[in-house]
Amino acid sequence: MTKRDESARPSTSSATSSAASATPSGAPASPAEEQISLRSPAELADALPYLLGFFPDDSVVMVALHGERGRFGGRLRLGIPRTREEWPEVSTQLAETLIAGSSKRGARPDGIVLFLCQDPGAGETARDVMERLHPLAQCLRLACGGLDVPVYEALCISDGRFWSSLFFAALPVSRPNLLRVEGVQQQALGVD
């Protein structure tokens, strides 16, 4: 049996505040609810299907963050527009929709986490997908920034890997029922 490094895994606590909340409205979780803290881009990528209830593909997913600890709030998902010409207009609409919707429910977001999810097409690699979608991520960042809400993280998830805007390195994403090599993400992120 191998020793696992629990420090890099999502932690749970019902007594302390956390970076993520299971409440869909973005309201603080009650003390009786379990809270999860996500500490890295790898954990964000791993948590996405649990936030949505399914594995998104061919999707732009945006998650509003609230407060200094980044509590999750509103979420939206849209299929990735097929043509680059649509990206600026769609980006503006998505940013406006998420920010206005969050504001109507009581709190303007303090930041946003962005996910671009698409598996490679025929003759395409996951890296090709990341490079092709990078301009879309930039359009979304500019649209959110234009509304004074920064994008704190942008992840491209493709073929079981993700690219973080902070690390620019492909790392594995765990999926239920698939073997996960313990320590790979921690080593790649420099976590002991």
> Whole-angstrom Cα distance, residue 45 to residue 156?
9
Quick one: pLDDT at residue 17?
A: 34
CATH number of the 39-188 domain: 3.40.140
Quick one: pLDDT at residue 166?
A: 54
Residue 17's Cβ-count burial label (10 Å; 0-12, 13-18, 19+) is middle
Neighbours of 46 (CB within 10 A): 21
Q: Where are the domains of the chain?
A: 39-188
Quick one: pLDDT at residue 50?
A: 85
pLDDT in tens, the chain (192 residues): 333 333 333 333 333 333 444 444 455 555 556 777 887 788 888 888 888 888 889 999 999 999 888 888 889 999 999 999 999 999 999 999 999 999 998 899 999 999 999 999 999 999 999 999 999 999 999 999 999 999 999 999 999 888 887 544 444 554 433 223 333 333 333 333
Quick one: pLDDT at residue 163?
A: 87
SS3 assignment for the chain: CCCCCHHHCCEEECCCCCCECCCCCCCCCCCCCCEEECCCHHHHHHHHHHHHCCCCCCEEEEEEEECCCCEEEEEEEEECCCCHHHHHHHHHHHHHHHHHHHHHCCCCCCEEEEEEECCCCCCCCHHHHHHHHHHHHHHHHHHHHHCCCCEEEEEEEECCEEEECCCCCEEECCCCCCCCCCCHHHHHCCCC
Q: Tell me, what amino acid is at 85?
A: E
